[in-house]
Amino acid sequence: MRISEWGTTPSGETVHRLVLGSAPGAVLHVLTLGATVHRLEVEAGGPRRNIALGHRDPADYLGSSDYIGGTIGRYANRIAGGRTTLDGDELTLGAHDRGNHLHGGPDGFDRRVWEVADAGEDHAVLRLVSPDGDQGFPGTVRAQVTFTVTGHAVGVELEATTDAPTLVNLTSHAYFNLDGDGAGTIDEHRLTVPAERYTPVDATGIPLGDHAPVAGTAFDFRRPAAIGPRVRRDEEQIVLARGIDHNYVVDGEGWRTAAVLESPAAGTRLILRSDQPGLQVYTGNFLDGSRRTAQGGLYRQGDGIALEPQLHPDSPNRPEWPSAVLRPGETYRCRLEWELSAIGR
């Protein structure tokens, strides 16, 4: 593991970069700002390249609403109107996305500088204390993320505890482009999501009602399909989100494959495994050329895809769905893994 100073936030905090793993295996660059996946170098069938999107400096991360690579908390995805109840108490949460709570609020975990609690050649543990009342959430939450690089795989373990009942739904908002960051769009990537149902949403990204079958829609990725044609289908749910920005109900339970992403051009496959009930698939719909890449270029629509294991959106207002409530004495856990390989091997 190598740790170095990477930059300074506009408010004067130092941001460190940790480098985990070694070639020819995966090499992961993590920033203490947002416990962010900043760069992921792999071979896996193609030439050695970076397959994770990332910005150039702390100000670019903090000036962006794209959540590139960040660790999201306390609550990934949306809560309708930023309002819900917990044990009978009304909560009013930071709501900065078309009137809804999104990804922990205007000052979510992805915007904080995390402390390095432990680090070695192939792993790092980062911690963050979120005070009582943070973004409207009750309880002091202690969050921890562990990144582990093993050969061509990266594991991410997200954990949290609290001193009062609260809501927790953490995820990684890493974006991938298997052809390499800056190599164009993910239109030709083939995606598989083993899910019979997804969650249709309204124009602000809030679930309309219950989950719905993917069969017969642009959202059916039960068999591998190229992404480009799907996000150009004139179907209402695609139009509303300008592509795919939807939550899937991943078939099965427990530790399992949540998605497979392949680039036939690069000859590379990424298998995402997780233990979460839902998977937000976001095809980079709002990347609009206004934010810089780490190389100093600009991100445009579809330049990367985020595959975010998590609970279903607005779950605090949907008691019939898996619960985000965390109580004192309990430990929240979300595990995920990205495994890279050459296609056909």
Q: Minimum distance between the CB of residue 102 and ligand GLA, rounded to whole angstroms?
A: 6
Q: Which is nearer to ligand GLA, 96 or 142 (CB)?
A: 96
Q: Which is nearer to ligand GLA, 259 or 306 (CB)?
A: 306
Q: Which two tokens stand for residue 129?
A: 């204390």
- Looking only at residues 49 through 68 of this chain, which bind ligand GLA when binding is defined by CB under 6 A? 65-67
188 is catalytic: no
Q: Which x/- pattern over 271-310 shows residues binding ligand GLA (rule: CB under 6 A)? A: ---------x-x---x-------------------x----
Contact 214, 195 (CB under 8 A): yes
Per-residue CA distances from 126 to 31, 39, 143, 234, 282 (Å)? 10, 17, 8, 43, 26
> In whole angstroms, what is the distance from residue 289 CA to residue 259 CA?
27
Q: Minimum distance between the CB of residue 245 and ligand GLA, rounded to whole angstroms?
A: 5
Q: Minimum distance between the CB of residue 248 and ligand GLA, rounded to whole angstroms?
A: 12
- CA geometry: angle 104, 275, 306, nearest 5 deg: 55
- Give per-residue burial for 282-296: e unless 16+ CB within 10 Å, then b: bbbeebeeebbbbee
330 is catalytic: no
Q: What is the rounded radius of gyration, in angstroms, for the C-alpha atoms of the chain?
A: 19
- Looking only at residues 136 through 175 of this chain, which bind ligand GLA when binding is defined by CB under 6 A? none
**What is the C-alpha end-to-end distance of the chain, expressed in Å?**
29
- Which is it for strands 101-102 and 298-300: parallel, antiparallel or unpaired? unpaired
Q: Minimum distance between the CB of residue 96 and ligand GLA, rounded to whole angstroms?
A: 10
Q: Which is nearer to ligand GLA, 66 or 181 (CB)?
A: 66
**Catalytic-role residue among 101, 123, 173, 211:** 173
- Looking only at residues 188 through 207 of this chain, which bind ligand GLA when binding is defined by CB under 6 A? 205
Q: Which is nearer to ligand GLA, 19 or 158 (CB)?
A: 158
> In whole angstroms, what is the distance from residue 279 CA to residue 246 CA?
8
- Looking only at residues 80 through 139 of this chain, which bind ligand GLA when binding is defined by CB under 6 A? 102
Using CB under 6 A, list all residues that contact ligand GLA. 65-67, 102, 205, 245, 280, 282, 286, 306
- The residues carrying an active-site annotation are 173, 308
